[in-house]
């Protein structure tokens, strides 16, 4: 699936629900499937700042030239949100990650989480994901 296809799939999953609580129930469920970060990476170095809940994020560039993300959070809704991002961005080339926009977040009604002050730090997570991609892109070109 392309990034666009994955995003559309997520939008479809959320559009099945009208009620906010059902959408959050879905997020909580998604949090349980989060590809968990290896314990040795769950350190302050991997902590994303700007979040009311703590989020640890790790990235690896595999031999296939794609970036794979793992993460964890101490809040389950945040885990769900991180997992959405990982579904969209993990297993992509650095270029794909760098060019993707975040319109799907708006479409599933999580736009409030995009405001710069929103305490779960979705913006910070996206920034960090793109930063990893940027670094790996430079590495690959060297």
Partner 1 sequence: MPAQTVFKAEMVRADFPALQQQVFNRPLVYLDNAATTQKPQVVIDRVRDWYEHENCNIHRGVHHLSQLATEAFEGARQYIAGLLNAKHSHEIIFTRGTTESINLVASSFGNKFINQGDHVLISGMEHHSNLVPWQQLCLSKGAILDIIDITSEGEIDLNHYEQLLAENPKIVAITHLSNVLGTINPVEEMIRMAHIRDIPVLLDAAQSVAHLRIDLQKLDCDFFVFSGHKAYAPMGVGVLYGKEEWLNKMPPYQFGGEMVDNVHFEQTVFNELPFRFEAGTPNVGAVLGLESALRYLHSFGIENILHYEDQLLHYAIKRMESTGKIRFIGRPKNHAAVISFLVGDTHPYDAGTIMDKLGVAVRTGHHCAQPLIDLFNVPGTIRASFGMYNTYEEVDILIGAIERADAMLA
Number of helices (H), then strands (E), in the chain: 6, 2
Tokens (6 digits) for 41: 């990476």
Q: Does 131 bind partner 1 (CB under 8 A)?
A: no
Q: Does 2 bind partner 1 (CB under 8 A)?
A: no
Residues 6+ apart with CB under 8 A from 72: 34, 36, 37, 42, 55, 56, 79
Number of amino acids touching partner 1 (CB under 8 A): 15
The per-residue b/e assignment along 36-69, b for 16 or more CB within 10 angstroms, e otherwise, is ebeeebbeeebebebbebbbbbbbebeeeebbbb
Q: Where do the DSSP E strands lie in the chain? A: 55-61, 67-73
Task: Tell me which of 3, 11, 75, 98 binds partner 1, using CB under 8 A.
Answer: 75
Q: Which of 27, 51, 61, 71 is catalytic?
A: 51
Closer residue to partner 1 in complex, CB, 99/119: 119
Task: Tell me which of 76, 98, 102, 135 binds partner 1, using CB under 8 A.
Answer: 76
Q: Does 123 bind partner 1 (CB under 8 A)?
A: no
CB of 91 to partner 1, least distance (A): 28
Q: Does 21 bind partner 1 (CB under 8 A)?
A: yes
Is 51 among the residues known to form the active site? yes
Residues that bind partner 1 (CB under 8 A): 20-21, 24-25, 28, 52-54, 74-78, 119-120
Catalytic residues: 51
């Amino acid at each position: 699936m392309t990034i666009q296809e994955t995003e559309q799939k997520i939008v479809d999953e959320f559009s099945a629900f009208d009620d906010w609580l059902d959408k959050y129930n879905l997020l909580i469920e998604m949090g349980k499937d989060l590809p968990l970060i290896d314990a040795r990476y769950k350190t302050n170095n991997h902590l994303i700042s700007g979040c009311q809940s703590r989020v640890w994020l790790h990235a690896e560039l595999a031999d296939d030239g794609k970036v794979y993300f793992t993460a964890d959070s101490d809040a389950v809704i945040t885990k769900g949100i991180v997992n959405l991002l990982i579904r969209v961005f993990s297993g992509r080339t650095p270029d794909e990650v760098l060019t993707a926009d975040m319109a799907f977040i708006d479409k599933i009604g999580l736009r409030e989480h995009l405001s710069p002050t929103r305490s779960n730090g979705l913006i910070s997570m996206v920034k960090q994901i793109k930063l990893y991609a940027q670094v790996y892109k430079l590495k690959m070109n060297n």
